[in-house]
Amino acid sequence: MPRYRLTIEYHGGGFVGWQRQASGLGVQQVIEEALHAMLGQRGPCPEVFAAGRTDAGVHARGQVVHVDLDADFAPERLLTGLNFHLRPRPVSVLHIALAEPGFNARLDATARHYLYRILDRHPPPGIEAGLVWHVPVALNAEAMHEAARHLLGHHDFSSFRAAECQAKSPMRTLAHIAVRRMGPEIHVSAQARSFLHHQVRIMVGTLKLVGEGKWQPGNVAKALAAADRRAAGPTAPPDGLCLTAVDYF
């Protein structure tokens, strides 16, 4: 039974998240049903396994999944057929290849890269609506970057962890975080082997307080040291968050 590795992009708006759920439509369900339709199979849909379970409203440009199929397909044929059956959903398969033996999209990942986009201007977004967090006041990107540096490294990130997070430990190693002004937007990029539930969004919501001048950069270090969710800022909305890439050995 061949295993395939897929790279996928999707607009998270309108989905309940990556995972198939009874409460609404998940990206996983859309892909599995497209595979089922393409293969013309009876019985249950093939199950796809993702590198990361993005939340409702969160987007992806480099989600990686693996799936086992009962038949051999040329990757090019599978790519064309799958994208045909994904229409008109805002989901696209960018690349398909035969996976290495034993490859696991989630367990073999060595780093996950996220980008959070903030549009900090008074007029609301038109073209980028649903893809950015609209903040109607100018933010200080330099102060936000200075504050973000306190989060680098191996820490107890309990202050930046959702109450419903199911991870066994709050310890995580943040390998990269940077805040940069990109024209009318502020971009927050973050990289780690794994993240806690809502970690990136809580970090961004906290850094926004610094950008507004309500917090000093050092307050972020104090929030981290408190290891208490109440010490950090609000959770930023999902709109601006995108899983951009997943690294493997």
- Cite the active site residues: 55
What's the CA angle centered on 135, arms 131 and 141, to 5 degrees?
95
What is the largest distance, in Å, between two alpha-carbon atoms of the chain? 59
Residue among 131, 173, 140 nearest 13 (CA): 131
DSSP 65: E
How many helices (H) and strands (E) are present in the chain, helices listed first?
A: 5, 10
How far apart, in whole angstroms, are the C-alpha atoms of residue 196 and residue 194?
7
| Helix, strand or coil, per DSSP, at residue 87 | coil
The amino acid at residue 225 is A
Estimate the crossing angle of helix 199-211 against helix 217-226, to 10 degrees: 150
What's the CA angle centered on 179, arms 173 and 183, to 5 degrees?
155
CA distances to 59, 64, 234 from 170, in Å: 24, 24, 18
CA distances to 68, 71, 92, 108, 196 from 40, in Å: 15, 12, 20, 30, 38
Query: For the chain, how big is the Rg over CA atoms in Å?
Result: 19
